[in-house]
Every structure is written in structure tokens, then in C-alpha cells.
Structure 1
Amino acid sequence: MEIISGKNKQAGRKKIKPYSHGLINKISKTQPLQQCHFISNTHWDREWRFSMQRTRHMLVYMMDMLLDIFEKEPQFKSFHLDSQTIPLRDYLEIRPEKEQTVRQLIKDKKLLVGPWFCLPDEFSVAGESLIRNLLLGHKIAGEMGHVSKTGYSPFGWGQISQMPQIYKSFGIEFAAFYRGVNTEQSPNSEYIWQGADGTRIVGSRLSMRPRYNVWYVIQRPAYWQQQDEDSRVVPWNSGNGPFKFVGDLYSQFDAQYARPKFGYDPASIPARAKQAMQEQDGDWTTPHRFWSCGHDSSCPDIREVRMIEDCNKALQGNAEVIHSTFEEFQKQVLENVNLDDLPVCKGEMRYYSDSKATSPLFGGVISARMDIKMDNFRTERELIRYAEPLAVYASMLGAEYPQQFLAHAYEWLLQNHGHDSIGGCSRAVVSEDMLFRTRQCREIAGCVSERALLDIAGTLDYAAHEDESIALLVYNPAPFKRDEVVSLNLEIPREAGSGSFEIVDVHGRKADVQVLGSSESFQVVQSPNDTANNFLTTQYRARAALKNIPPAGYTTFFVRPISAEDTVQPRPATMVTGTNTMENEYLRVAIQGNGTMTITDKRTGKVFERMGYFTDTAEVGDPWQHRDVEAKQDFTTINESAQITLIREGALETVYQIAIDWSLPACRTADDSARSRHFKTVHIENTITLRKGQSWVDIVTEVDNTVEDHHLQVAFPSGITADTTFAQSQFDVAERPVKITYSDNCLETPQAEQPMNSFIDISDGTHGLALLNEGMKAYEATDQTQPELRLTLLRCFPLRICVTQEMTDYSQIDKSSQCLGRHKFHYAVMPHQGDWEKADLWNAAEKFNLPLVIGQTAPTENGTEPLKKSFLEISDERIAVSAVKQSEQGSGWVVRLFNPSSAAIRTKIRLNGGMADFPSSPSPIERLKNEMALPGTGKQPWTRARTVNLEELPEKELALDEAGWCNLEIRPKEIKTLEFLVH
């Protein structure tokens, strides 16, 4: 993160170039009156304190009210549905008869929806998920009549560094949010935001009370005679007929009003309208102010029309209050802002609140409910990195593309990405619903992947290998070639009479194999035109070193049974080199009595000690912020005794298991001041694996969490002197200072944890230490000369939610935030040379998180495809692939690339060579008659390739050579989307 002040703050700042299509002009207009854009809206958390279904009950009331207002009050001009489209889906499922009315309101730009499907927490989901969220929001809004192209995403906990590039590629040149920006970075509301790739857009922090100024300052006094607009305490006997369940049934429900009064106090308006003006005076650089009439789950009100009229009368001669839209407010700011006077903020926006004009960052959400975040990561991976690309590749061979299955899978996934949901800020009923949704998504993704691999396997040409009876199809989802030690559960038919086996590639070269054991087994085989049957087999559990797996493609190996008579027991080989010590060609790992590791990088001689000890502190915060107790007690496993067991050894893989029974305080004290004097045992098991050819130590940690109110981390002392760390982010690698940057003006406690995706790294330029991980989102680099890198495993807090000024404490009836029970974490420690780019950490994290897919098959006849193939080829392996998908228009195939490096890269790309020639309406009968054969590749070579923006609108035509390659240059941090077409 970087801040460059405006020209009045710092001389010599470069001027911003005007945008190509002229939406932002370097002009300054003076207007006689301040323009107060009164925007009727709601902030709709689909689920938070309540489940989606209970919240939808409120949504239907809100939308019914809105439609009635539009019908009965022509002066009620517009309503902003919180930049989302998912409320439309939820509403119309209950009120399908209202669809045409809703469509007309959207078409007439009275009901403003989109551009998002739902408002996410950007740091908790994949970068590709953010793009799909926007694509789905655009699709739904476009089909309903109009996409509101506004960058109003007010409720993420900070903003990722690539949002300017993402927004601009969707045709959005304005970002409005209030968490993560403060007055030190942006003294006035408006500023320039420069993304990681250099893209610049205008930003606004929306001034005082950023999304509910009118709601509090004017509306509450006028409607409810609330003299202290900030007070959330109301009298019981107010005449509104409060109602509360107090028996056993429904007693957890909030109170409601049975007969809420419909009042309006015009006498309160003049003073309150002037107060709303005065609170924001001096904070805007244009005459255009954002006056927001909306709140959490708030309902539109027909009285707003009169309130606007009365505000206009009260401010006559000083300001004009107009019932506006966010589109119009955004347009006016862009047309009137003087760019030369604005500061430039660079990179991710994660600054702490420093005044009443800004809001808390609340960055602690990245460690809330880590189980939910890891579950989401694995679901994203199965859908985005496996199912969808495999479906594309199979379709290129002639298979039917499962568009609707994939569309349904994405909807299940993206429903979980609302900020409160994925942020882990909700009650148990929400997380339970989320786990259901991700399971639906993964079930669909698994079916799609299976069908695609079946189709691919059926196309292979085995003519040169007619004597082989068992083949392995090995698929690599990553865009680079791989050599890897893999796990296998081979099923060799019992009739083969095998005592062992060997694995060879298509050239007959043997793979190294480490057999772990065997047992008699049987496998069920499904056939839709027959009953289920069995294969009688001997199952061999083994590890194999498979080489030359092509990028984004497959290769074939053959399994050859060896009869019991011919089986020769090989001389045992091992990576064990001493007591509790193992090593491969890169690393030496010695496990100490306390369970930590001493790791020696054999390439450099650098020794890393005390690797992987656990540390635990108290936690009495809430979903948004970590807070320790006053009487701090830090516990570590450094002085604990571990039980160390060698559970597997061999030439390809060696595994140790480490068990620790750790005594920790059971909970917090009742007053939150200390940890309990009562202790419980927390059992931790580490499975530590070293494999041949792998430059990291693989670790699986299983924790049986029996205690509450604690913050559990695993620590790796780096032994490296550095001031910054590097963390993989969404389409970026973010460099962050080890020392937390905040000023004395901060109004919130800075959080030591920072967000990450799949790796973090620290380096002095010569030596480096990286941690890879599977779906964990929070890390800490301790503030010292040689920092420790810490991964957060669990942050277990009392469930207290800020519904009003007073936290509502659900902790006695809802223990979900305490994360009790068993948890599994997968990560790795990787010493390396140089910095993260020299160590190729982006691809290392891909390799760590994208296991090869291996299928066993019997060769069939009349195949058309080679036994080894890349569907997608990129000449420079530094280029990352974010997506392979069908185009939104359905006429082409899209590949999304990204350059994570600090240098521009010239590369070339080829997608399969073209499409199969197959009927537009495939016949299941014909497929059955043809024994499921597909026509194969190359019948329709690509005729065109072009770059498109993230909305997939055409940008630039690309030349294709005869072999199907196209050349392109990708700038540092640039996201590049290509579309391939046959027509």
C-alpha cells in the first residue's frame, strides 16, 4: 500500500492521463448550489444474524413495499438495491407474479440493480470468483433490463489491489467504499485509486456517515422523534405495540412492533437538514454530495418524498436536494472532479479508521471461521480449476458442454460469498447453510469432471499399444509441465495373478514405484444400460514418480502386472538418514523432541530451526477484531514433549507423525479479563511428509479443539532479516511491511494478521522462506528484526454481533464461533534461494494446491487422440491461468491469463487447435450406438482469436498462425482475457 499526496501536498506528482473514452475529464466546474443526491436504498445482508430464509421473509416485505410505493407515488423516482442482483432471485422465487413489474422498473432505471451478484469480502475468495460474481450480476441485471454500472461496494473489509483493473475492465471507473481508506490517505472524500497494474480510477470514501447519513440525521428524528439520532435505545411504552416471544418456543426471535406508528415531524427537518450539511462541509471536492437514505435491511418509505421537499425548503439558497441515483451521483463526480488536486492511493486499501469521517477496517474477519474459508477454497478449486476447464476440453473433442450444470454450480458457490457469510460473521444457521451449498457445488463439479475425463479417456488412440491391458490417464490442471510423486490405489484384476506391477510411459520407460501394501478388493462398475457389477481386483497402495506430465493436459502410463513367481523384492531404499531425520535432494529435516523441525536447505546450507511450533493466546474479540485479555498468557509447545513415530519410509516418500497433548485454559473468565484457571487437553497431530523431487516439507495438522476463547497459530522463525513480506493476493503478490503501519490518529486497534491466498514469503534477496497453504487466509509476520511467519489455524471467539451500539451476545446459545471439534489444516514450509519470483513461488503454490488427477482405464479401440496432449499451451510458464470457460455469449471459448511478475512478458498461446465437428443437438441414442465415441479434435480450427475485457466484450483481434498459436504481451500484474472462435 502506498499513498502519494496531491499537488498541494507534494510537489512533482505526475498528472493522471485522461481515460480513453472520456468519462473522466480534467475539468473544474463551479455551481451555485451544493447538489445533495438523496439516494433511497437498502444495505441487504442476505444472511447474517438471521438465516437466508428468515432474511428473505423481511426482503419480501421490503420489495412489496417498494413496488407499492412506485405504483402509488410518482415522485418516488428510484431505489438502489445495494449493487446486488441476488435479492431479485430471492424475491421472485416467492413473488413470481411480480416479475414483469420488476423488469419494467429496472428497464426504466427506477430500480437500480447490479453490477454484483452479491457483495463479497474480496480477501476471502478467489480473484476469479470476484470476476464471476460480477459476470453473474451483469447477466441477471442485463436480462432484467439494465445493469447499474456503479462501483458502489460499501461493505467489504478493505479492498484488494486489483479492483481498479477489474472494475475498469467492466466499464466502471468509480469506486465508492468506506472501510480501508482514511483521512490521512484521502483528506477529502475523493481520491485517485491506482491498482497493482497501474490502472487508475476515481475513488470516494463518501464522507461522514458514509452510507446512512440521511437515515440517521434526518429520517430518525422526523419519523420516530429520536432526539439523539445515534441512540438505539427506545422506550417500551412508545405506542408501537412491541411484541416478543417469551416462552420456550421462538424465544430467540427479536422483538417486533405489532402497530408501528406512522408519524412525521416537519418541524425537525430544518435543523436536521442543516446538520447533515454541516457534518460533511469541507469534505467534498465537487458540489455533489452522497445523501444516503438506507440502512441494514432497511425498507423504503413513502415519507421520503415529503422529506426531500422539506429539506429543499430548509436549504433553499444553499443546497439542492434531488431524489437521485448512484449512477447519477457517480456521473456527476466523474465529470466535475479536478484530478490534479486529488491524492493518489496505490494498491490494496487496508488503512485503519482515523476520524469520525471514516469507518473501521475490521480486518480480523480473515481469521474468523477458518473452516468455512477453507471449505470455500476447496470448492472454488474443484469448480474453477478442474470441472469447468475439463468440460471445455472434452467439448473440444465433441462432448456436450454442461453449461447449465456449471451455471447452477456457480450460483451455489457465489451465494456463499456475501461479505458476512464468507467473512465468518454470522450465526451457526448461516454456516450450516453455507456448508450445504458448497456441498451441492462440489457434487456438481465432481460429476462434470468425471464425465469429461470419461469422454477424454474414450478418445485415446491405443493402436500402438495393443498388448497393454491397464492404462493410467494422468491429467495436469496446471499450465506448466510437472514431474511428481503421486499416490495411487491401483486395481489389478485378480485374474492377472499379480505379485507386483510396474508402471511404464508410452516409450516403455519405467517409473520409480514405492509399494506400501496390497489387499484383495472389488470395485463396483456402473452402467446405465445394465445393473451394477463387480471387478474382482487386488488393490495396491503405492507411490509413483511420474514424469513429463504436460501442461493443462494429460499423458498416459501403462500398468503391467508381474506374476507372483517373477516378483523380485527390491532392496529397501529410504530417505531416513538418522534418528527422526529424513532428507531428499533439496532438504534435510530433523524432528526435535518438542515436535519442531530443524530444516537445512542443502542448496545453500541455510538452517531453519524451531520450525512449526504452536502458539496460543487468549481471544475475547468478535468476528471483526482480535482482542487479547488484559492478563496476557502466551502458551507455546516449545517446551512440550512430542510423541514421534515413523509411519512410512521409502525412496519416494517418508512420513513422520508427531502427537502432542497440550494443556490449555478451557475458556475466558466471565469478565473477559483473563484466561480460565481450568485447563483442558488439546490433542494435536502433525503428519510431516518429505517426497523425492519436492522442495518443501508437506504438513497436515489435525487439531481436536476442546477449548474456547483462544487464538491458535503455527509459527516458523525465519532467521531472515527483512522489513517486508510478500503474500499472494487476488491477481497480485502484495508486499507488506513487517511493522504495522498506523498513526497515532487510529481509532481502532491495528490487527497483526494480514490476508493471503496460497503463499507468503520472506526473503533477504539471497535466502528466502515461504509457507504454502490450502485455503487458509490469515498470517502474521512478527515485528522483529528476523520475523517469525505465523499461520492462523483457529481464532475462537465469543459470538457477539454489533446489532446496535451494544454487542448482542449469542455466545451462550451459539458456540459455532468457538470452532469446537476436529479440524484439519494443510500447509508446507519451503526454503528457497532469492526472492519469490526467482523461487517461482506462484507455480509452487499452484503445484501444491492442484493435485494431478489420475484415472485407471482399459485401452479401447478406434481412438483418435494422442496418448499425450496439452489442451492449453503457453510458451512462458510464468503466466498464470485464472479460467478456461465458455464465453458469456456462448459462441467462443475464453482463456483468462495473468502475469504475476514484475516484468512484462511476451508469450504465445495455443488452445487445442480448434473444435470437433459435432451436431448442435447431440443425440444420446446416436452416442450409445457409436459406443460413446467422439469425433476428436481438429475438424474446425480456430478462425479468430481476440482479446476481450472482463465483461467479455471484444477489444482487439489477434493473429493466429497455421499451427493455432497467437502472440501477445502481458504487462506486470495485468489480467488478459482471450476468446477463441470458429466462426
Structure 2
Amino acid sequence: MTKRTDKTKTQCHFISNTHWDREWRFSMQRTRHMLVYMMDMLLDIFEKEPRFKSFHLDSQTVPIQDYLEIRPEKKETVAKLIAEKKLLVGPWYCLPDEFSVGGESLVRNLLLGHKMAKDMGHVSKTGYSPFGWGQISQMPQIYKGFGIDFAAFYRGVSTEAAPNSEYIWQGADGTRIVASRLAMRPRYNVWYVIQRPAYWRQEDENNRVVEWSCGSGPFKFVGDQYHDFDAQYSRPKYMYDESAIPARAKQAMEEQDGDWTTPHRFWSCGHDSSCPDIREVRMIADCNKALSGDAEVFHSTFEEFQKQVLENVSDNLPVLEGEMRYYSDSKVTSPLFGWIISARMDVKMDNFKTERELMQYAEPLAVYASMLGAAYPQGFLDNAYNWLLQNHGHDSIGGCSRGIISDDMLFRTRQCREISGCVAERALLDIAGAVDYTGHANEQIALFVYNPAPFKRTEIATVNVEIPRDLESGSFEIVDENGQKAGLQILGSGDSFQVVQSPNDCANTFLTKQYRAKVELKDIPPAGYKTFFVRPIDKDDVVPSRPATMVAGINTMENEHLRVAIEANGTMIITDKQTGKVFERMGYFRDTAEVGDPWQHKDVENMRSLTTINERAQVSLIQGGALETAFKVSIDWRLPECRTADDKARSKHTKTVRIESTITLRKGQKWVDVTTEVDNTVEDHYLQVAFPSGICADTAFAQGQFDVLERSVKLPYSEDFREPPQSEQPMNSFIDITDGQNGLAILNEGMKAYEATDQDKPELRLTLLRSFPLRICVTTEMTDYSQVDKSSQCLGRHRFHYAVMPHQGGWEKANLWNAAEKFNLPLVIGQTAPTENGTEPIQKSFLEISDETIAVS
């Protein structure tokens, strides 16, 4: 640490700022009402007090969008302040939780933030990140790509890892940037230590109790109308106690004396939804006077603070590598609060599906269609991204908010998916209509198959083939362009009719016979399409044969790679036919108590886990064929209905939770596909699905944002920890464990949390639900919404999709990244009548990579 001398004064950069959660305790609209009040006040201060140098809008731009929708007449004024660097916005659009969204969403968030800030006059190129719970491993590379060389955040860094504030952060790819964990009370030290005593005469800066006769006119609705609104001050009383400054300024200095390695310190008052205050100018001057001889306190900007740190920092800082998920180990550091990855899993899965619709289907297809001459739908895609990214605020996507916020989020994702579906549909119409069917003049029904993944695929897919009734002859076959027949498993048929939407005519219909079938579609080009043909054939011409099936015994099925037997308790015995490795009790359910909150899991005093290992399941064959075989497994499980009132135990009263799983095996597929539906009727519990791997390893591998993370399965322990180590960890689409010879991977669709145990019988566990009482940390007592808002309990029906994949070697040899892509990116299949004058080939790849180990985001 750099020692101060008599000739060197500490430089306290006071930065006027706020921490603006777009929605958290209150809905976006209610919070926006507060935002307009705040922004009106800020503009008034800028007009009346020329010494008020600048205001940092929490590294985001969406508040500007929200404000100008209400105050469009202020756009010129706001733009002028941004261009003059008085109002500092960006580089982010909103403040995300990095582990709850996809990597591409983080890049798009920064892109939109940059665009909006640049359009308004200036992008604040700062890596100040007062949001989220930890940092992903690739943020140094992402920041560097946006010209940002400095990061500052306070969750996920310990004093053991970073003894002083500044350190070098090295990303997964080797990119290095200077970073800071800031210091004690990182974003609001002035707010608590100096401002509250000076403005409100709070001798105990942490005291949250206010006297009714405080002079500011507390106002609370007490009738039926608006009774659920928080109290507010009707006429806030403005005071300023100059006598509090000397001692408090000294305290602010002393609290941070052991942290900084340069003379430059970050002082700020960025509390939740805090407003700028004209008294800050006087407070800065008084602090500077009180500390004269030791320090200079001055109105600064984060950009200036960042510049001075980069110029003065040592070349010999410690290097921290990869993701930042350290636990708090002193009062100087902040808790990680990483359990948010399993809060409101329904919201996170909904977001995952929406990201996929927009980023993996709509946008690429729009690009490919534009390559063939179609207009690029920029406006629609921009609008879709705006809807999506509004949901990525850390408290929103983190599941830390009230039910009204999650309701609003589901509305926004629905808007994004609607737009994405329309864009994808238009693009596929343009592409399919451009195909040249010369040489296939006799074909009347074409099957257009699109592969969104950047590698060739052969898949078993579900189709609902519509045979026009004038062509119907009792059966059909599917062939490729060379007449090779595709494998077919017909499931059923029935009369149907389809509506044809026309831009130049009224809606029309055509009558069909609809066949539901499984079909083996071979060699679909990467990021491209392949055309097959549906040929009606006379039922009498179909040569009868004994139906082929993958059913291999009672409640057992088998393909080229796996043998799956379903036990009486509903678990699976999976045999890897390549290695002979047998995995038993796969997919049992495990339930424990949950009396924590969005940020932390907490069990009851007498901890006890319940499982379905000794339950009796109903198992039935629902589909048996050569391409696909599936069993349905149902369990009626009695679980405690809730916690006790004192949070110390689970209720003695129980309710039935019905769990239904469809277990499917397909020809050629290297994993067992499972869809589980849970009808959650109980509260205050933590539900997982477990997979005893029998593989002893020190680490597990999880797909992250542009990375695969290797994490220890052993929990760290230190007597200095201020928060218990977290057994649950974040992931994207797979978790894997291997001993080098045998491995077990669990693929999933949008489930963000897993646990890898290091017990005698190692297990991988996927979190399905973490149902907790809704209590939000507004005060030390926490605001308890649990009786009026049950949204965090996740009651009702939920659907989870995952797969079990045994393999040889590690995740690279098993090509798990591509396996997860196949699992999560189903083929798109359309049926069309061939048209004339097309110019495109019968099959085509728009994007192909020579090395399949390269992933395309």
C-alpha cells in the first residue's frame, strides 16, 4: 500500500450519484414516478447551483428512456447535460445480474447502453458495476472490447483475495484490466457516515427508526384505498448540521484507511433510489475544510476517479483470475448473496426461452433472408431487444422483487417472443419461397427444415404433416432430394383444416388430413436448411411389417448408446453401452426446508431432507417405436405444507405434490430426455432433482457465459466468513463431472442453478424450485410481504426440461457444448407447396465453421 507523506494528501473524489433499481420494492411505473421526481430535482439543481459539478446515473441509460417518455419536453436539456459531461450515463442500458442472463444479452445490454448514451451526447466509459451478485469470468474481455479498462464492484471479492482495494482482474481468455473492490460502505459511505448525521441529525448513522413528530409530515394511507402504499413525507424538512461534519469526515477517512493503494478514494452517496441534494455542495466544502492538512475533498466524477487510479496504481498488484464469486470475509467487503440464481426459477426459464427465440432464431434468420434480398427488420429487432433487456435489471431477473414485477416481466418477454416469432416467420417465408424446385416438378408437398446450430445435424423430430384431402390416399412417406426415404414413426391422424392468411385477400382455408409423426431428418446443413418431400401413398401399398421398437423389457428402453430401466420408485438405471458404466437412482427428487429469502437459502433448525427414493411411482409406456420411445412416471408426494410461524421447523400438516415426468429415448441420441411437471401446492421448501454420479472428482464443470467453468465441489471454509459458503452454483445449459475416464453431464433448458456434492456418494443436483417467504431487506428487520404476496412461493404448475448424458472423458471430448446446443435449439420445420422462379438450392448452409469446437453466440 502506498504510504501517505506530509507532502501527499489523500484525494477524496466525492461523486454525486444514486443506485437506481428500475423495479424492486415497487413496480416499474411506481418507481418511475419516483424517478421523474428525482430527475426534475436534478435538473433544477443544475440550473440553480453552478458548483454542482456532475451526477452519475448509476452506469445505465434506461432511466433516461423512462424519464423522457414522461417528460419529452426535457430531451434537449438532458442531452445538453449529457454532452457537457454533467449528467453521466452508460455504458450499460440497465444493471443486470450477469449469471442470470446469457452472455450475448450482456453484450447487447452494453451495445444498447452505448448507442443511447452516444445519441444523447456522451458515453461514460466506466466499469462501475454497483449491481449483480458476482461477476462472470469473461467480463474483462467484454469490457475491453468496449474500450473500458477499469472495473469497480463490491460483491464477489474478499479481503483474502484482494487485501487492498485495487487488483488486476484477468478474464478467462487472459485479458487483464485494473479492478477495484472499493472500500467499506462502497457506494454509500458518505450517505451513512456524513450525510445522514448532517441532514437528519442521526447520531447512529444506521438507525432507521424515525419519530412521528420529525417535522417532515409522515403520511400514510389508512383507509381501504391505497392502504398498501408505503408511508412518505408530505413536506420533507431540510436541515443541515455543520457541527456534525468534522467528526464524521474523520470517521469516513478512518473506515477506509486500510484499503486504498493510491491516494485516490471513491466517496459517494449512491443509496437505493436516492435523490441528488443541493446541500452536497456545502457538505463537500465543509468536509474539505475539516480534513485540511490530511485530505482534499472535492466534487468529482467516476471518470476522473478512474483516470487517477489508472495513472497512480502500482504495477505489482495481485492478480485475480476468472469469475468473482468470493464470499465476504470482513466488514469491509459485501456479501455475495449468490442464492438469487435459484430465486423465481420460472422467471429465469422464461427469460432463457425468450433470449433463444430472439438471438438464435429471429435475428439470424432475418440476416439470412436479407442475404437473399429481403428487407432487414431492424426496427422490429430493436424493439424486441428493448423489451427483453428491460427485464435484465438485477433485482428483476434475480427474482428479488414483488409479484407485480414478475407479472410485468412475463408481459415483456411475451412481447419480445411475439415480435421474434413474427420476424422468424417472415424470414422463413422469404427463404422457403426463394428455393428453386426445378427437377422436382412432380413433388406437391415440400418439407422445409431449418437448423439454427452452426454444425450439421441428424435429428428425430416431431412433425404434424398436413396432406390436402384431394391428395390423401391413406398414408405417406418422406424422402430427400435424392429420393432416399426418411425413417418414419406415425403416431396418429385425423381430419383438419388450415387457415391461410393473405395480405391481398380475405383469410382462406384448405382441408387436410393431419398426421402426427416422428421423422428421422438426416444431414441438415449448419445454420441452413434442407428440403424434403412428402409423398402421399396408398395405404394398400404399404408393406406390413412387425413394428420396430426400442422397448427392451418391462419399463425398459434401449438405443445404440444407452439402456434405460425405470425402477418402481421412478428413478432410472442408465447403462452407458460404450463403457459399461451403470448409473443408478438417477433422477430422484429431494426436498428440504426454506426459510430464507431471495438472497440467501436457510434451512430450519432440525435440518432433514425428504426424498422420493422410498416412494412408489406409477410407470406407463406412452410411446414405443423405432425412432422414439417414452414412459410416463407419476409420483404423488406428501410434503409439509409450509414453515412454522417461528421459522424453526416445517409444518406437521402435509399436502400432495404431484410430479409427472416423461422420460424419452430417441434413436441415435446420447442422452435420456426428461420433462418434469411439478404441481407445487406447498410453501417454504427447496426442491431438487438428484443424480448420484458415483464419480469421485475434486471439481465439476459448468457452462457459463462464453466459458466453461471448473469449480471445486468442496465448500471453502473460514472462520472469517461473514456469510455461509454457498453449495449452489450458477450454470447455463450443462453441468458435468468426470474422473477422466467416465463422465456424467446434465443438460437443461434455462435452469440456472446446480449443486455438486463431495460426499461419499457424489451427486449432481438441479434446482427446480426454491420457494421462500417474500421478505425484502429494506430495514434491518426486513419488510415482510410473505402473507400478502405469495409469488416467491412459486405455487402452481411448473415444467422443467433436462437430460442425462453419460460419456467418456471430459466435457471437451464429449462435445458437451454442441450437445447443449442440440438440446436447446430444436429444428424448425415448415411445410410448403413448391413455387416457381426460385433461385436458391434445395439445401443450403448460410454459415459454416471448419472447427466445431468454435461456438457461435
Q: TM-score, normalised by structure 2?
A: 0.99
Residue 660 of structure 2 corresponds to 685
Paired residues of 1:83 and 1:114 also in contact (CA < 8 A): yes
Query: Of 391, 400, 415, which residue of structure 2 is paired with 1:440?
Result: 415
CA distance in 2: counterparts of 1:682 and 1:729, whole angstroms: 32
User: What does the per-residue CA deviation read over 1:27-57, in whole Å, with 9 as the maximum and x for residues that have no partner?
Assistant: 9999611000000000000000100000000
Maintained 8 Å contact 2:4/2:263: no
Aligned residue among 174, 178, 183 for 1:198? 174
Structure 1's 261 and 875: CA in aligned 2 closer, same or farther, altered over 3 A? Answer: same
Query: How much does 1:873 deviate?
Result: 1.3
Q: What is the letter of the counterpart of residue 148 of structure 2?
A: I
- Please give the alpha-carbon distance, in whole angstroms, between the structure 2 residues aligned to 1:244 and 1:27: 52
Aligned pair partner of 2:38 in 49, 59, 62: 62
2:798 aligned residue: 823
Paired position in structure 2 for 1:413: 388
Structure 1 position 862, deviation (Å)? 1.1
Pick aligned residue for 2:131 from 152, 155, 179 = 155
Secondary structure, aligned partner of 2:848? strand
Return the letter of the residue paired with 1:200.
Answer: R
Task: Give a deviation string over 1:67-108, Cα, whole Å, max 9, x none.
Answer: 000000000000000000000000000101100000000000
1:597-641 alpha-carbon deviations (Å, 9 max, x no partner): 000000000000000000000000000010000022211000000
Partner residue, 1:330: 306
Q: Give the aligned residue type for 1:318.
A: D
Q: Check if 1:566 corresponds to 2:541.
A: yes
Structure 2 match to 1:224: 200
Partner Cα distance (2:517, 2:355) in 1: 29
Return the match for 2:485 from 500, 510, 532.
Answer: 510
Which residue pairs with 2:432 in the alignment? 457
The residue correspondences of 1:944-963 to structure 2 (distance < 5 A) are none
Inter-CA distance 27–842: structure 2 relative to 1 (3 Å threshold): farther
Q: For 1:570 and 1:92, locate their aligned partners in 2 and report how far apart those are by CA, in whole Å.
A: 70
1:875 to 810, 835, 850: 850
TM-score normalised by L of structure 1? 0.86
Cα distance between partner residues in 2 of 1:867 and 1:742: 60
Give the aligned residue type for 1:56.
Answer: R
Distance 1:880 1:430 in 2: 34
In structure 2, give the amino acid aligned to 1:487: T
Large movers: runs of 4+ above 4 Å: 26-31
**Mapped partners of 2:756, 2:6: distance in 1:** 49
Residue of 716, 728, 735 corresponding to 1:753: 728
- Counterparts of 1:185 and 1:632, CA distance in 2: 32
**How far apart in 1 are the matches of 2:5 and 2:467?**
79
User: Which of 570, 594, 597 in structure 2 is aligned with 1:622?
Assistant: 597
Cα deviation, residue 829, structure 1: 0.3
Structure 1 counterpart of 2:739, from 764, 770, 780: 764
Distance in 1 separating the partners of 2:544 and 2:594: 55
Deviation at 1:785, TM superposition (A): 4.4
Within 5 Å, give how 1:892-931 maps onto structure 2.
none
In structure 1, what is the Cα distance between the partners aligned to 2:51 and 2:679?
Answer: 60
Q: Which position in structure 1 is the counterpart of 2:361? A: 386
Give the letter for the 2:753 counterpart: A
Distance (whole Å) between structure 1 residues aligned to residue 733 and residue 825 of structure 2: 11
Q: C-alpha separation between the residues in 2 aligned to 1:108 and 1:88? A: 16
SS in 2 for 1:432: helix
| Superposition pairs of residues 586-605 of structure 1, within 5 angstroms | 586-605=561-580
Q: Please list the CA deviations of residues 725-745 of structure 1 after superposition, one character each: whole Å capped at 9, or x if unmatched.
A: 000000000000000123221
Percentage of identical aligned residues: 79
Q: 1:492 aligns with which of 458, 462, 467?
A: 467
Answer yes or no: is 1:85 the counterpart of 2:61: yes
- Structure 1 residues not aligned, in runs of 5+: 1-7, 9-25, 883-983
Match of 2:324 among 349, 354, 367: 349
Query: Quick one: distance in 1 between partners of 2:331 and 2:258?
Result: 14
1:219-368 pair list within 5 angstroms: 219-340=195-316, 342-368=317-343
Q: SS of the counterpart of 1:109?
A: coil
Distance verdict in 2 for CA 1:539–1:611, change over 3 Å: same
**1:2-151 counterparts in 2 under 5 A?**
32-151=8-127
Residue 287 of structure 2 aligns with an amino acid whose one-letter code is C
CA distance in 1 between counterparts of 2:807 and 2:538 reads 44
Asked if the contact 1:192/1:203 (under 8 Å) is kept, the reply is: yes
Compared CA separation, residues 613 and 29, structure 1 to 2 (3 A): farther
Q: Tell me, yes or no, if the aligned pair for 1:27 and 1:338 is still in contact at 8 Å.
A: no
Q: Which moved more, 1:831-840 or 1:873-882?
A: 873-882
Alignment partner, residue 16 of structure 1: none
Describe the superposition over 1:554-573 as per-residue Cα deviations: whole angstroms up to 9, x where unpaired: 01100100123323333201
Cα shift at 1:509: 0.6
Stretches of structure 2 lacking an aligned partner (at least 5 in a row): none
Q: What SS does the corresponding residue of 2:252 show, helix, strand or coil?
A: helix
| 1:374 Cα deviation after fit | 0.1
Contact 1:30 1:287 in 2 (8 A): no
- 1:836: which partner in 2? 811
Corresponding position of 1:183:
159
Pair 1:738 & 2:710 matched: no
Work out whether residues 499 and 567 of structure 1, in 8 Å CA contact, stay in contact via their aligned partners in 2: no
> Take 1:293 and 1:542, find their aligned partners in 2: how far apart are those partners?
63
Per-residue CA deviation, residues 555-598 of structure 1 (Å, 9 max, x unaligned), is 11001001233233332010001110000000000000000000
Query: How far, CA to CA, are the matches of 2:216 and 2:94 in structure 1?
Result: 34
In the other structure, the counterpart of 1:430 is 405
Query: For 2:822 and 2:331, how far apart are their aligned partners in 1?
Result: 46
Q: Which of 475, 484, 497 is residue 522 of structure 1 equivalent to? A: 497
Distance 1:465 1:570 in 2: 30
User: CA–CA distance in 2 between the matches of 1:809 and 1:488?
Assistant: 49
Cα distance in structure 1, aligned partners of 2:279 and 2:704: 45
Deviation at 1:380, TM superposition (A): 0.1
Shift of residue 251, structure 1, vs aligned partner:
1.1
1-structure distance, mates of 2:163, 2:24: 33
Q: Among 629, 632, 638, which residue is 1:654 paired with? A: 629
Distance 2:715 2:174 in 1: 24
With 387-396 and 491-500 compared, the bigger mean Cα shift is at 491-500
The answer as to whether partners of 1:27 and 1:337 remain within 8 angstroms in 2 is no
Q: Contact 1:488 / 1:543 at 8 angstroms: preserved in 2? A: yes
* Separation in structure 2 between the aligned mates of residue 742 and residue 530 of structure 1, nearest angstrom: 71
Match of 1:775 in 2: 750
Is 1:629–1:675's contact at 8 Å kept on the other side of the alignment? yes
Distance of 1:539 and 1:571 partners within structure 2: 24
**Matches of 2:756 and 2:494, distance apart in 1:** 47
Contact 1:27 1:336 in 2 (8 A): no
Q: Which amino acid aligns with 1:716?
A: F
- Work out the CA distance in 2 between the residues paired with 1:306 and 1:224: 15
Partner secondary structure for residue 439 of structure 2: helix
Q: Write the distance in 2 (CA, Å) between the matches of 1:502 and 1:198.
A: 53
Distance 2:472 2:357 in 1: 37
Aligned CA distance change for structure 1 residues 349 and 29 (closer, same or farther; 3 Å): farther
Instruction: Say whether the 8 Å CA contact 1:28–1:336 is kept in structure 2.
Output: no
CA contact (8 A) 1:600 1:608 kept: yes
Residue in 1 that maps onto 2:688: 713
Moved more, 247-256 or 328-337: 247-256
Offset at 1:260? 1.4
- Aligned mates of 2:761, 2:536 — CA distance in 1: 54
Contact 1:28-1:338 at 8 Å conserved across structures: no
Counterpart of 1:166 in structure 2 is: 142
- 2:370 and 2:4 mapped to 1: Cα distance? 54
Question: C-alpha displacement at 1:856, in angstroms?
Answer: 0.3
Distance 1:170 1:784 in 2: 43
Distance 2:847 2:489 in 1: 32
Which letter maps to 1:88?
A: I
Contact 2:689 2:767 in 1 (8 A): yes
